[in-house]
Amino acid sequence: MKLDNPGLGHSGFGHPGHTLGMPSTGTSRVPLLAPDAPAQTRKDFTSDQEVRWCPGCGDYAILATMQGFLPELGLRRENIVFISGIGCSSRFPYYLDTYGMHSIHGRAPSIATGLATSRPDLSVWVITGDGDALSIGGNHLIHALRRNINITILLFNNEIYGLTKGQYSPTSEQGKVTKSSPLGSVDTPFNPVSLALGAEATFVARTMDSDRAHLSGVLRAAAEHRGAALVEIYQNCPIFNDGAFDVLKDRAESQRRIFHLRAGEPISAGGQVVIRDTDNELRIVAEGEADPQRIVIHDPSAADPSTAFALSRLSESTLSHVPMGVFRSVSRPAYDDLVRGQVEMAVAQAGGPATDADLAALLGGHDTWTVGA
Amino acid sequence: MNKPVRQLDRVVIRFAGDSGDGMQLTGDRFTSDSAVAGHDLATLPNFPAEIRAPAGTLPGVSSFQLHFADHDVLTPGDAPDVLVAMNPAALKANLRDIPRGATIIVDTDEFSRRNLGKVGYAVSPLDDGSLESYHVHPLALTSLTVDSLASFELSRKDKERAKNMFALGLLSWLYTRPLESTEEFLRRKFATKPDILAANIAALHAGAHYGETTEDFAHTYAIAPATMREGTYRNITGNTALAYGLVVAARRAGLPLVLGSYPITPATDILHTLSGLKRFGVTTIQAEDEIAGVGMALGASFGGALGVTSTSGPGLALKAETIGLAVSLELPLVVVDVQRGGPSTGLPTKTEQADLLQAMFGRNGESPVAVIAPQSPVDCFDAAIEATRIATAYRTPVVLLSDGYLANGSEPWRLPEIADLPDLTVTFQTEPNAVDDLGAPVFHPYTRDPQTLARPWAVPGTAGLEHRIGGIEKADVTGVIAYDPDNHERMTHLRRDKVAGITASIPALEVDDPDGNARVLVLGWGSTYGPIHAAARSVRRHGMAVARAHLRHLNPFPSNLGEVLRSYERVIVPEMNLGQLALLLRAQFLVDVQSHTAVRGLPFTAGELADVVTAAIHALPEPAAEHAR
Ligand SMILES: Cc1ncc(C[n+]2csc(CCOP(=O)(O)OP(=O)(O)O)c2C)c(N)n1
Ligand code: SF4
Ligand SMILES: [Mg+2]
């Protein structure tokens, strides 16, 4: 991972008068830990707050993985910010000893947009749930993705509204029986990966609460990505939607069902592989029967998102084929870099930061007149 | 050949035409030229919500009224002395505001049977004697313009489009206005279109020349310059002044300015203006909706910027939940609401003051915010600075209630010295402010400044102060999640007391009661300042005493307000709503104020308010020999 941190202290935000070139990684402009500082451990990222999720909640595993992963970034702790909406999952920031904001339902991406745009020296993470991100906050999510703001969005998908005690969510399968859908939900669910790809996202991945290694790997890739990264994390809610992803956690079942996405490799599971059929559709066939010419080699950096989208459509609510990993990771200038670039350019072209005299000239405009004296 | 000049002390002109006739531009230019001529002035643009309603129809009429004088001007004028009507629709839509004896200039070329029919004139009002009591100048403005441009290689349509400049030239001659600043303006506007530029300048001069040669006008009028305070002036609209005020306030506070905004009339020009000020380090984000706009502003504030969002009433409704979050987070936030007629979409381009209670109470829970209002277009600049002062010093959202009249209206502005403006320097928390049980330094985000009750502003990037805040109730001092009943009671009171305590930093309400013997007080807020002041003047000219005061701060009120209210036998509160300030005053001070209201989408006229005041004075009981004040 390439790092070229300018080492901005907190007094350095505002209008950093340097490098109009685009930074390359998600944390390019975030100050690193001093070389002589003691290495960080998970303890450094553990706040003194008592964790209050239900026993067995998948959120615990995600938190533990995150606390273990953050030291790897080598960033100054004070330059990391977690912003969440509302939901069980959105309590996450309280448990991390970084800066954090537990905001309001669905709005975290907009708050993160304001923060990330004004503070290039921060590593900004958004924590959200399937209801928070895809129901009440759907509009902010798609616009954060299309703008490609430099934030990492972790969508904890338990396919249920946890905090409000178990109503169906925009990712619940059709027919789901809950207290608000006693005869089964008639809503068609969203596929968060498909949605993100349709919203022009530059980085889209899927992972799972219980697979620490996979989750860490996806977090690493997401943190490295400059621009908006959407990570869907399958998360078990043992209270209101227990076992929703059990088939993916069972060793034998998961080997059949999880199609790992690895750049440059075929996409396969349990002796089956993804091919591009003669009609140009993606299909899953037995490896033995696949025409080697037609086997899809995964390329997350493909400019055209259609193959990534087709891959996202292989998932079904029965979880019989579930691609996991990075669907798409392409480079496009980040919104906040462009916004800051315009300001920096305007300041540079005007010969440097405005003075009181420049401001007075602005106030005066073109048509002034003088009275008296 | 110079015609005789007549001296006047004030004139009110209204330019009216089709939306496509360029009346706003014509009015703007005449305003600038009048300002340069040293007059005090006030303007009232009035335009339809539709961008181009069908040509020649009543809904398509756009107008611009200007009041200029040799003395200080408080309102755009109750009734025009001159109406320029570019078509029958403009005449019909405006005639009822024009007093008998006024001058009406019409473009007869537009008075075709078809155009007359569009607005229901069976016979031309120019022919049926219905305008007998006015001085009507029927001029073929369109063909005069086209004829004056005979030598230009332009389409007839392009030539016709210069007729507003012909009209402007004529009026400029009539009122002895210089043409230079308009010429300079045209040179800037049409820098890349030399032939259009030349035609517009030619039309402008042709109009002036026509006035001089035609027998239609026997003399010109001169208005002496107003005596104004020494200084350098410009003319400015409320929205521009407000945007500049924000930029200056951010500079005086030493903070970067970040605006999150979604376009909405009549607030959009603030977004436009600030978007053009990148050179001053201003960041603007056009959000996906109003909720995102305020969220972005709040996120920027969390990061140590001056977060601002601008909107109108419908947008303020959408922002409510986020403003509540800012109340709980106790972070600075400036929310600009340029009010328009409501409810719902209401009257997008017309003015109203009906969002006061929304600003005060339009959120869930006990959710106090500071509320302030500017009183004139120029005052929008100072109000923006005051909003920033309160927001940053008290770490609170501030709602700044402008309105459509202030936003688009303009007046001369005496330019301030930047260095003379208030110093709003902000200090961020940089060190831990407590120790834990083991004596180690820690940061408690909800400790409070004993004077202001503001909590420390500790921005991400500050080592050792890592903390989490949110909308869930927090424990006093430590800020950790707390559901404890006594704590919630305490925090609710603290939030209320903090906002109420802003009173200590604002000036007492000044009452204008020249002889100190008035028994009636007129109390206003926001853009009613001009008409109320003008009404008080007129009442006093008629030998009666009336007191007048105007509120900048709506929450909290100035500390002496109750005392002021109780000092008068009658308190009249004129508002462009159904009595929202009156409701607050009655609730807080138990005084029975007299609410006078109008919601016609237009400012009050001074005459109307003078009548209300006069009636109230007449209705007072005979004073006791020594009446107590
Ligand atoms: C404006 C608003 N509407 C509704 C709620 C109630 N509410 C809180 S969380 C939630 C759904 C959360 O579901 P999800 O985002 O999936 O999070 P989870 O609890 O499952 O992690 C709802 C409806 C709220 N807090 N605010
Ligand atoms: S309700 Fe479900 S999602 Fe929420 S904390 Fe409990 S187990 Fe976790
Ligand atoms: Mg959920």
What ipTM is given for this predicted complex? 0.94
A366 inside domain: no
Domain that holds residue A99: 9-263+303-355
The helix or strand, by DSSP H or E, that contains position B529, with its residue range, turns out to be helix B529-541
B194-213 and B141-148 helices cross at what angle (nearest 10)? 120
Please indicate whether, in this complex, the C-beta atoms of A101 and B469 are within 8 angstroms of each other: yes
Task: Tell whether A142 and A280 lie within a shared domain.
Answer: no
Ligand 1 probe mutation, A57, A94, A163, most atoms within 8 A of CB: A163
Nearest to A14 among B185, B230, B256 (CB): B256
Please indicate whether, in this complex, the C-beta atoms of A49 and B481 are within 8 angstroms of each other: yes
Residue B505 identity: S
The helix or strand, by DSSP H or E, that contains position B616, with its residue range, turns out to be helix B606-618
Task: Tell whether A171 and A259 lie within a shared domain.
Answer: yes
B23-36 and B163-174 helices cross at what angle (nearest 10)? 30
Alpha carbon of residue B205 to chain centroid: 33
β-pairing, A368-371 vs B231-237, is antiparallel
* Residues of chain A below pLDDT 50: 1-20
Q: At B133, list the tokens.
A: 């009591």
Q: Where are the alpha helices (DSSP H) in B454-510?
A: 485-500
Q: At A61, list the tokens.
A: 């595993």
Task: Tell whether A251 and A309 lie within a shared domain.
Answer: yes
Q: For residue range B521-545, what is the model confidence (pLDDT) as tens digits?
A: 999 999 999 999 999 999 999 999 9
Residue B275 identity: S
pLDDT reported for residue B50: 84
Interface of A with B in 301-340 (CB under 8 A): 339-340
Q: Does residue A26 contact residue A5 with C-beta atoms inside 8 Å?
A: no
Residue of A82, A91, A105, A367 for testing the chain B interface, max B β-carbons within 10 Å: A367
Q: Where are the alpha helices (DSSP H) in chain A?
A: 58-73, 108-118, 130-131, 138-147, 192-198, 212-224, 246-249, 251-257, 306-312, 335-349, 356-364
CA dist A337 and A22 (Å) reads 7
CATH value of B5-223 in 3.40.190.10, 3.40.920.10, 3.40.1170.20, 3.40.50.300: 3.40.920.10
Residue with tokens 């990148």: B278
A372 inside domain: no
SS3 category, B104 = strand
Q: Which residues from chain A sit within 8 angstroms of residue B329, using beta carbons?
A: 101
Question: Domain B236-419 carries which CATH code?
Answer: 3.40.50.970
pLDDT reported for residue B624: 59
Strand partners, B341: B347
Average pLDDT, chain B: 95
CATH code for the domain of A205: 3.40.50.970
CA dist B15 and A63 (Å) reads 67
A369 inside domain: no
Q: Where are the beta strands (DSSP E) in B266-305?
A: 283-286
Please return the burial class of A35, using the count of CB atoms within 10 Å of its CB with bins 0-12, 13-18 and 19+. Answer: exposed
Task: Tell whether A17 and A144 lie within a shared domain.
Answer: yes
pLDDT reported for residue B298: 98
Task: Tell whether A257 and A270 lie within a shared domain.
Answer: no
* CA A165 to ligand 2 center in whole angstroms: 8
Q: Where are the alpha helices (DSSP H) in B484-605?
A: 485-500, 529-541, 561-566, 580-589
Domain ranges of chain B: 5-223, 236-419, 427-505, 511-627
Q: For residue range B587-596, what is the model confidence (pLDDT) as tens digits?
A: 999 999 999 9
Q: At B43, list the tokens.
A: 């303007």
Q: Output the furthest CA–CA distance in chain B (Å, rounded).
A: 96
Angle at alpha carbon of residue B187, lines to B41 and B2, rounded to 5°: 60
Under CATH, to which class is B511-627 assigned? alpha beta
Residue of A10, A15, A121, A355 for testing the chain B interface, max B β-carbons within 10 Å: A10
SS3 category, A266 = strand
Alpha carbon of residue B95 to chain centroid: 26
Rg (CA), chain B: 27
Q: Which chain A residue has the Cα nearest residue B419?
A: A356
pLDDT reported for residue B235: 92
- Give whole-number Cα distances, A202 to A121, A150, A151, A300, A301, in Å: 21, 11, 11, 10, 9
Q: Which ligand has the shortest distance to the CA of A157?
A: 3
A361 inside domain: no
Q: At B378, list the tokens.
A: 């120029």
A22 inside domain: yes
Give the number of other CB atoms < 10 A from CB of residue A41: 12
Q: At B139, list the tokens.
A: 């001029």
Q: A257 CB near a chain B CB, below 8 Å?
A: no
CA dist A235 and A128 (Å) reads 12
Strand partners, B464: none
Q: A114 CB near a chain B CB, below 8 Å?
A: yes
CA of B52 to nearest chain A CA: how many angstroms apart?
29
Whether ligand 1 lies within 6 angstroms of the CB of A131 is answered as yes
Task: Tell whether A284 and A157 lie within a shared domain.
Answer: no
CA dist B54 and B89 (Å) reads 11
- Give whole-number Cα distances, B330 to B53, B385, B503, in Å: 46, 19, 18
CA dist B264 and B402 (Å) reads 14
Q: Same topology for domains B5-223 and B236-419, yes or no?
A: no
Q: Does residue A306 contact residue A335 with C-beta atoms inside 8 Å?
A: no
CA dist A78 and B96 (Å) reads 66
CA dist A123 and A244 (Å) reads 32
- Give whole-number Cα distances, B368 to B22, B330, B472, B486, B557, in Å: 44, 11, 16, 19, 13
Q: Does residue A132 contact residue A140 with C-beta atoms inside 8 Å?
A: no
Please indicate whether, in this complex, the C-beta atoms of B307 and A110 are within 8 angstroms of each other: no
A239 inside domain: yes
> Phi and psi of A234, rounded to 5°?
-65, 125
Q: Nearest-CA neighbor of B73 among B7, B9, B16?
A: B9
Q: For residue range B609-620, what is the model confidence (pLDDT) as tens digits?
A: 999 999 999 999
pLDDT reported for residue B233: 94
User: Could you give the number of structural domains in chain A?
Assistant: 2
Q: At B535, list the tokens.
A: 């009404």
Please indicate whether, in this complex, the C-beta atoms of B299 and A365 are within 8 angstroms of each other: no
In terms of phi and psi (left: phi > 0; alpha: psi -120 to 50; beta: otherwise), the region of A74 is left
A363 inside domain: no
* Residues of chain B below pLDDT 70: 1, 624-629
> Residue B544 contacts by C-beta under 8 Å, 6 or more apart in sequence?
B613, B614, B617
A220 inside domain: yes
pLDDT reported for residue A21: 61
pLDDT reported for residue A295: 98
Q: At B587, list the tokens.
A: 């609730």
Please indicate whether, in this complex, the C-beta atoms of B299 and A113 are within 8 angstroms of each other: yes
Task: Classify the C-alpha dihedral A283-A285-A287-A288 as positive or negative.
Answer: negative
Task: Tell whether A60 and A138 lie within a shared domain.
Answer: yes
Mind giving me the DSSP string for A158-224? -SSBTTTTSB--TTSPTT--BTTBTT---PPPP-HHHHHHHTT-SEEEEEETT-HHHHHHHHHHHHH
SS3 category, B150 = coil
β-pairing, B10-18 vs B82-85, is parallel
Task: Tell whether A272 and A202 lie within a shared domain.
Answer: no
Binding pocket residue ranges, ligand 2, CB within 6 Å: A 53-54, 57, 59, 88, 158, 162, 237-240
Task: Classify the C-alpha dihedral A76-A78-A83-A87 as positive or negative.
Answer: positive
Give the number of other CB atoms < 10 A from CB of residue B49: 15
> Phi and psi of A3, rounded to 5°?
-125, 130
* CA A127 to ligand 1 center in whole angstroms: 13
